[in-house]
Structure 1
Amino acid sequence: MKRRTWILSALGATGALVVGWGVTPVRSRLGDGALMLPTEGDVALNGWIKVASDGSIILAMHRSDMGQGIHTALSMLVAEELDVPLARVRLEQAGADSIYGNVAMFVGSLPFHPLDAEEGKKTSTVRVGEWMVGKIARELGINATGGSSSVADAWQPLRQAAATARASLLEAAAAQWKVPASELKVQAGVLSHRSGKTGHYGEFAKGAAGLTPASVVLKDRATWTLIGKPALRPDVPSKTNGSAQFGIDVRQPGMLFASVRQAPMLGGTVQSLDSKAALAMPGVVKLVELPSIAGSTAGFAVVGKTTWHAKQAALAVEVKWAQRAQGALDTEKIKADLATQLKAESGFTFYEKGSVEKAEATANRIIEAKYSAPYLAHATMEPMNCTAQIKDGKVEIWVPTQVPGMARAVAAKVAGVDVESVTLHVTLLGGGFGRRLEVDFVGQAVQVAMQCEGKPVQLIWSREEDTTHDFYRPMHVADMRAAMGADGKVASLRIKSAGDTITPRWMERGLPALAGPIDMPDKTASEGLFDLPYGFANQHMSHVATRMGVPIGFWRSVGHSHNAFFSESFVDELAAQTKQDPVAFRAALLTEAPRYLAVLQLAAEKAKWGSPLPSGHARGIALHESFGSIVAEVAEVSLQDGKPRVHRVVCAIDCGTVVNPNTVAQQMESGVIFALSAALYGKIDIKEGEVQQSNFPTYPVVMLAHAPVVETYIVPSERSPAGVGEPAVPPLAPAVANALFALTGQRQRALPLAA
């Protein structure tokens, strides 16, 4: 009932309003050709597809590429339906219309148990909830690249747009040649008729414009020639030879450069500053004070002729900083406060099944454990940066962002212009991981550009500013409790966690007009705990939402990233307590979850679970579902100089229909290395309000010499595509921790494991 109440409150204030609006037709995402950028010789057939005069295809790209290969995958969907070679699909940045909004990401935020939301098994509550939230998301049209949702969201609209364009082109050719459209064939973008007539798409584009085809049918899976086949990524050569343009590479005529210094105490302010000496340095133009913008910490930027000039001058500014009004933040105190609140408050119940109270009351014994995870930084390879120019009442920005609409909005707000006066160019992203879902650095760049007399200015953060002024993954703690029956089996599982919730804080910073009731329950706080697939008869999963004051944000795989460590480590504890093999213990609990069981068994088989290992080595396994994909990972671990060394990670994944298996493997490898860095080293400490880690020497990542061999095995599936960019992250830490237990007999319940 609690979950249902939450869903209804999110959908609308009055039932009559929601019901009345809910029966209206779903807004189409096909769009009109006028939405695409008008370019000479090209003909737009809808809001996604243009045909060039040479017959090549231009796709409106609405998602940001941060190394995950999404530009290739989405191009493959279009190339498949239009029967053109992948190399014949070019990209242009999509506009700001609502058709480009991310519907799947918002539908995925609903707090449904995955076993209740399985395709073909959805309950009425799930169907209604997804329908309503999908409608809301279509209306809002918020364009965001996140939640491992790009392919899932584009799966229907992009193929539909391409198939509609194809049908229109066929009808145009049929009309021109005066033959039935059913007699035409398409191969590699060339139409042909048995009479011998041939022509490429470009010859019929004008005739196809404005047509509403009589019938649009998506290609049958059996006829696919691209989807599901390995494809090379067209972006690799430019990224290899250095010609690819990331945000940090932007150069404009007469451009200036700005270096930022923010109060070292999170939430701090400038008390006083003396810039005389700094402004007298060679190549220095001016200093601009920066208030808190979109959640940033206040500070200033120095503008110079080069980044070096600006940075050296910024360091030379004599400044006195003031602590935040609420007092200094401290991670040790926060951890103690979390433990106190976890014990004192009941929290919000995300999931309950059976009666945990009865099971505990009649238990033969109770197994309890406390787990914790620290704050983490994103540590993207490309620090935060944005280039902005304000001239003649217009704003133009070049930025690596995951949220172009929000970036435009904050730019307009800071500059005092309407959103239509802002032109935004999305560059390639040198890493995102959720950090570029924030727009603080965009607001800063615009504020600096306002003081630069129409010249473009590139604002860039140093690595130290980037690490010490992040929106961190929140610190969380969890109490795990299992009741053991007289038969020696687990009778119940109770999990209560505590920590800050991300979504409300993100909405406050970037979507204040849409924020509404800010502190409603946030799925990301309990995901990976309330949605376990295991068939425990009695379950109770709750979360105590806190507000500790540290700026927090979405981090790759969000709540799953730490909650999987809590849940899968504790499940491993239960296997040990009942003296069962970890794989067999899990398998016995997955009789009602065959997809999970298949993934678990595939990973165990490929890792040769149970076979002999070199002396001093051990294996650990973890199974976890996130973003619609099920992943099992087996880690082979040893100790070297008393520190964990991971030699091999075997991954099995069921992510639904696979578009490009190469990308799946690459993202699994990426996720494993990213997660391993966090599992072994990741920790942000705050003392007197100041973050203690500042660069890679104090916030290390896994280096090439210590990277494990990663093997990926994909479960064949005809389900709709699910996420790939994040699901490899959650199982890694528990798999390594479970291997360490097998190796040493000691259970580690706190991250990082190497601490």
Structure 2
Amino acid sequence: MRRRTWLLGGTAAAGALLVGWGVLPQRSRMGAAALLKAAKGEIALNGWIKIAEDGSVVLAMPRSEMGQGVHTALPMLAAEELDVPLTSVRIEQAGPDTIYGNVAMLVASLPIHPLDEEHEDGFGRVKASRWVVGKVARELGINATGGSSSVSDAWEVVRMAAATARASLLGAASLQWKQPIEELTVVDGVVKHAGSAKSATYGELARFAAATPPGTVTLKSRKDWKLIGRPAPRLDIPAKTDGSARFGLDVRLPGMRFAALRLCPMLGGSPGRIDPAAALAMPGVERVVQIPAYAGSTAGIAVVANSTWLARRAVDAVHVEWQARPGGNLDSERIAQELTASVKDGSGFRFHERGDLDAAEKSARVIESWYSAPYLAHATLEPMNCTAQVQDGRVQVWAPTQVPEMCRAMAARVAGVPPAAVEMHVTLLGGGFGRRLEVDYVAQAVRVAMDCGGAPVQLVWSREEDTRHDFYRPMHVARLRATVDAAGQPLSLHIKSAGDAISPRWMERGIPALTGPVDLPDKTTSEGLFDQPYGVPAQRMEHVATRMGVPVGFWRSVGHSHNAFFSESFIDELAVAGKADPLEFRRKLLGKAPRYLAVLDLAAEKAGWKSPAPAGRARGLALHESFGSIVAQVAEVSLGPAGPRVHRVVCAIDCGTVVNPGIVAQQMESSVVFGLTAVLHGRIDIHNGVVRQGNFADYPMVRMASTPQVETWIVPSERPPGGVGEPGVPPLAPAVANALFALTGERHRKLPLGSV
């Protein structure tokens, strides 16, 4: 096996220091009580938990709510350890301290094969790598909501913070009442001592508890859980139902102005001569502001007016002579050709290799196929928007964002103030899907606000700007080649892909401290290819990282979203070539992956795989692991004059310990609807530098009438929680494509499939 070793530090002394630092204990994420601002009647017990005088609990919330249920799941963890009703926990936006950084998301960026981790005994290479990266992540403290990591990251720290607070509260009662702590119980936030009949609420004990050391803290035993693992109503639904929930577009402030944006139609271009006369002549229009190319965006202009509608009318009235990007205009057809050439001729980074691939390819039947996936937009229901106010050397920002501290840093950079002078207000997000991991729209709003004399200004993108100036899921091309023996069993699997790497570009544009290009190997390019569970003896997985000039970003399930289509469609091809049932073919290759096999079998059983499909329909199967969770899906598909129709999708998932099974089901359903839009319709075409699609008329969504029935089945597990927001997306495309093959006998290797 060929291995790659990364050396950090240029001297032996530096290496020794690194090793010495690496074996030190990880920095605690508990945090001091001083990190939480205590309102009247509130007492902070650590950096995560406050107790109000009425006994209710306030949890510091570092993660953004964008429909995934995190504002319910994390309070459930706290409520469980504190023994309080879920409804008595409320949330408060966490501050900028590093204890709120997302450690799990950075650890998950390591290109580790999941079976390597499962089969590792003791503290080996995999666990050591995770340990070191975890330490780095704790030091960096990057607060981000992404990678389906919110619950897995909070799993230990939020429970421990709540358990520590509970220990201090019980300790306070024990000292005050002079009773053994072992004789105290907690019921719904009330501490009781049966022998003396004494009781007190958390609110009554909180002030004394703040000065009481917690002593030895232990988490609840699984058998004692009352909330975790059971369905619970989502805490955010009532406000979203009655209209009191505040999204970015709902922000209203005294004296607010409104701005509309118009970016250069050619990606990477810029405005030349600008004539604002027609716009400024409109009553209620205040100014025209030129917008630089912030954080990887395209340059343009904005118009400030007394309403969003007027600002949109006025920005279209500004006459601008647009200039193309210095490197020439982009074209998606040409890019596809270049990616194919890169696979054929380029040198790829090998993410995974085992066995003797070259020998296997010389002595057996070779099966080869090419697959491709287009650029995709995020198309969040709530278009990009941000409200900013710059006044007296301070900046306030109200934004639906997944990265509040990166927004703070970018706002400070644009306004020329220190980050401490920027106050972030994170609103609810009307969809994120990775688009709100970017900070371009925040920089633009701050720049406009700087010209508004201290008045707050709300910048809102039109749907057309949102579609034509996204950070797109990259276009990728892959060649998959396998050799099979006389019985049709695969002896080797070689996958080589090409496409832009996302993580380096995101780091360059979103982290101001970086001053040069970042070109480290990016796991997202090959995830879902290098980390397959199938027991093929010889494997080689490599990727050619390109830089085509199109702005690319994280898209729900990232590389898994297209790589699963490549790999699981090809596995079906191999099954057909070997005249094997797709289910049984996979089962034979999963002898050393029992967790995967259990998920696969459950999906097949619940879908009735071995029974005939309804007349005019066929079933397709796919299995995929991503973000710490394994998902198998069976799609039931028909084909009519309007194209494919997906009637039913059966999902089985092993996501480790389940906090709220209702949220898991919701996320599987959401993933199917979101993924089906991409499978059937999604594509971004670029011609002469301009994105052709602009709104839902030419970038259509799956609607309620064509939404399939979705069933979710959960495999019981005692492993730590995995992700649920994204793992349901990747298997859908291959499941649908495989069903279409079963229905028509024609293999489709290019997305989308809606025109089949």
**Partner in structure 1 of residue 704 of structure 2:** 704
**Partner in structure 1 of residue 622 of structure 2:** 622
Distance 1:270 1:576 in 2: 54
Distance 1:9 1:530 in 2: 28
**Partner in structure 1 of residue 588 of structure 2:** 588
Partner letter of residue 149 of structure 1?
S
Q: Are the equivalent residues in 2 in contact too, given 1:63–1:70 (CA < 8 A)?
A: yes
Deviates more, 1:205-214 or 1:691-700: 205-214
Q: Are the equivalent residues in 2 in contact too, given 1:117–1:123 (CA < 8 A)?
A: no
1:299 correspondence with 2:267: no
Q: How does 1:5-44 map to 2 (within 5 A)?
A: 5-6=5-6, 14-44=14-44
Distance 1:12 1:563 in 2: 40
Change (3 A) 1:306 1:517: closer
**Partner in structure 2 of residue 572 of structure 1:** 572
Change (3 A) 1:146 1:13: farther
Distance 1:241 1:91 in 2: 19
Task: Give 1:187 shift.
Answer: 0.6
Q: Are the equivalent residues in 2 in contact too, given 1:11–1:132 (CA < 8 A)?
A: no
Secondary structure at the counterpart of residue 713 of structure 2? strand
Deviates more, 1:142-151 or 1:339-348: 339-348
Q: How does 1:491-530 map to 2 (within 5 A)?
A: 491-514=491-514, 518-530=518-530
Q: How does 1:163-178 map to 2 (within 5 A)?
A: 163-178=163-178
Distance 2:579 2:740 in 1: 17
Deviates more, 1:209-218 or 1:151-160: 209-218
Task: Give 1:38 shift.
Answer: 2.4
Partner letter of residue 108 of structure 1?
A
Secondary structure at the counterpart of residue 595 of structure 2? helix
Gaps of 5+ in 2: none
Q: Are the equivalent residues in 2 in contact too, given 1:631–1:654 (CA < 8 A)?
A: yes
Distance 1:514 1:12 in 2: 26
Task: Give 1:608 shift.
Answer: 0.4
Change (3 A) 1:691 1:484: same
**Partner in structure 1 of residue 325 of structure 2:** 324
Return structure 1 stretches of 4+ with deviation > 4 angstroms.
Answer: 1-4, 6-14, 119-123, 514-517
Partner letter of residue 221 of structure 1?
R
Task: Give 1:4 shift.
Answer: 4.3
Q: How does 1:246-257 map to 2 (within 5 A)?
A: 246-257=247-258
**Partner in structure 2 of residue 244 of structure 1:** 245
Q: Are the equivalent residues in 2 in contact too, given 1:3–1:111 (CA < 8 A)?
A: no
1:607 correspondence with 2:607: yes
**Partner in structure 1 of residue 541 of structure 2:** 541
1:88 correspondence with 2:84: no
Secondary structure at the counterpart of residue 579 of structure 2? coil
Distance 1:242 1:13 in 2: 60
Distance 2:74 2:138 in 1: 19
Distance 1:25 1:620 in 2: 48
**Partner in structure 2 of residue 742 of structure 1:** 742
Distance 1:11 1:489 in 2: 49
Distance 2:265 2:243 in 1: 34
Change (3 A) 1:572 1:117: same
Secondary structure at the counterpart of residue 598 of structure 1? helix
**Partner in structure 2 of residue 313 of structure 1:** 314
TM-score (norm 2): 0.98
Distance 1:314 1:714 in 2: 51
Task: Give 1:409 shift.
Answer: 0.3
Secondary structure at the counterpart of residue 115 of structure 2? coil
Q: Are the equivalent residues in 1 in contact too, given 2:620–2:635 (CA < 8 A)?
A: yes
Distance 2:515 2:413 in 1: 17
Distance 1:646 1:350 in 2: 34
Task: Give 1:341 shift.
Answer: 1.1
Deviates more, 1:607-616 or 1:697-706: 607-616
Change (3 A) 1:303 1:13: farther
Of all paired residues, the percent bearing the same amino acid is 66
Q: Are the equivalent residues in 1 in contact too, given 2:270–2:324 (CA < 8 A)?
A: yes
Change (3 A) 1:2 1:515: farther
Partner letter of residue 269 of structure 1?
S
Q: How does 1:581-730 map to 2 (within 5 A)?
A: 581-641=581-641, 643-730=643-730
Change (3 A) 1:129 1:41: same
Distance 2:601 2:209 in 1: 51
Deviates more, 1:716-725 or 1:178-187: 178-187
Secondary structure at the counterpart of residue 5 of structure 1? coil
Q: How many residues align?
A: 754
Q: Are the equivalent residues in 2 in contact too, given 1:500–1:547 (CA < 8 A)?
A: yes
Q: How does 1:137-152 map to 2 (within 5 A)?
A: 137-152=137-152
Deviates more, 1:213-222 or 1:77-86: 213-222
Task: Give 1:7 shift.
Answer: 8.0
Q: Are the equivalent residues in 2 in contact too, given 1:7–1:129 (CA < 8 A)?
A: no
Q: Are the equivalent residues in 2 in contact too, given 1:144–1:402 (CA < 8 A)?
A: yes
Q: How does 1:239-638 map to 2 (within 5 A)?
A: 239-363=240-364, 365-514=365-514, 518-638=518-638
Partner letter of residue 199 of structure 1?
A
Deviates more, 1:104-113 or 1:606-615: 606-615
Q: Are the equivalent residues in 2 in contact too, given 1:116–1:122 (CA < 8 A)?
A: no
**Partner in structure 2 of residue 56 of structure 1:** 56
Q: Are the equivalent residues in 1 in contact too, given 2:256–2:457 (CA < 8 A)?
A: yes
Secondary structure at the counterpart of residue 540 of structure 1? strand
Q: Are the equivalent residues in 2 in contact too, given 1:329–1:689 (CA < 8 A)?
A: yes
Q: Are the equivalent residues in 2 in contact too, given 1:3–1:350 (CA < 8 A)?
A: no
Secondary structure at the counterpart of residue 524 of structure 1? helix
Task: Give 1:486 shift.
Answer: 3.6
Q: Are the equivalent residues in 2 in contact too, given 1:504–1:515 (CA < 8 A)?
A: no
Partner letter of residue 334 of structure 1?
I
Q: Are the equivalent residues in 1 in contact too, given 2:508–2:517 (CA < 8 A)?
A: no
Distance 2:598 2:542 in 1: 29
Partner letter of residue 286 of structure 2?
V
Q: Are the equivalent residues in 2 in contact too, given 1:287–1:301 (CA < 8 A)?
A: yes
Listed one character per residue, the Cα deviations across residues 39-63 of structure 1 (whole Å, up to 9, x for unaligned) are 1110000000000001100000010
Task: Give 1:515 shift.
Answer: 7.2
Q: Are the equivalent residues in 2 in contact too, given 1:635–1:732 (CA < 8 A)?
A: yes
Distance 2:611 2:428 in 1: 44
Distance 2:650 2:543 in 1: 32
Task: Give 1:512 shift.
Answer: 3.8
Listed one character per residue, the Cα deviations across residues 166-203 of structure 1 (whole Å, up to 9, x for unaligned) are 00000011111111111110010000002110110011
Q: Are the equivalent residues in 2 in contact too, given 1:507–1:515 (CA < 8 A)?
A: no
Listed one character per residue, the Cα deviations across residues 509-541 of structure 1 (whole Å, up to 9, x for unaligned) are 001425776101000000000000000011010
Task: Give 1:346 shift.
Answer: 2.8
Gaps of 5+ in 1: none
Task: Give 1:6 shift.
Answer: 4.2
Q: Are the equivalent residues in 1 in contact too, given 2:409–2:512 (CA < 8 A)?
A: no
**Partner in structure 2 of residue 751 of structure 1:** 751
1:125 correspondence with 2:118: no
Q: Are the equivalent residues in 2 in contact too, given 1:11–1:133 (CA < 8 A)?
A: no
Task: Give 1:2 shift.
Answer: 6.0
Task: Give 1:282 shift.
Answer: 1.4
Q: Are the equivalent residues in 2 in contact too, given 1:629–1:655 (CA < 8 A)?
A: yes
**Partner in structure 2 of residue 198 of structure 1:** 199
Task: Give 1:213 shift.
Answer: 1.5
1:731 correspondence with 2:754: no
Task: Give 1:361 shift.
Answer: 0.8
Distance 1:166 1:36 in 2: 17
Listed one character per residue, the Cα deviations across residues 196-242 of structure 1 (whole Å, up to 9, x for unaligned) are 10110011101111432211010000000000000001211111121
Distance 1:3 1:651 in 2: 36
Secondary structure at the counterpart of residue 752 of structure 2? coil
**Partner in structure 2 of residue 74 of structure 1:** 74
1:180 correspondence with 2:192: no
Distance 2:384 2:266 in 1: 19
Distance 1:522 1:595 in 2: 27
Change (3 A) 1:555 1:129: same
Q: Are the equivalent residues in 2 in contact too, given 1:256–1:455 (CA < 8 A)?
A: yes
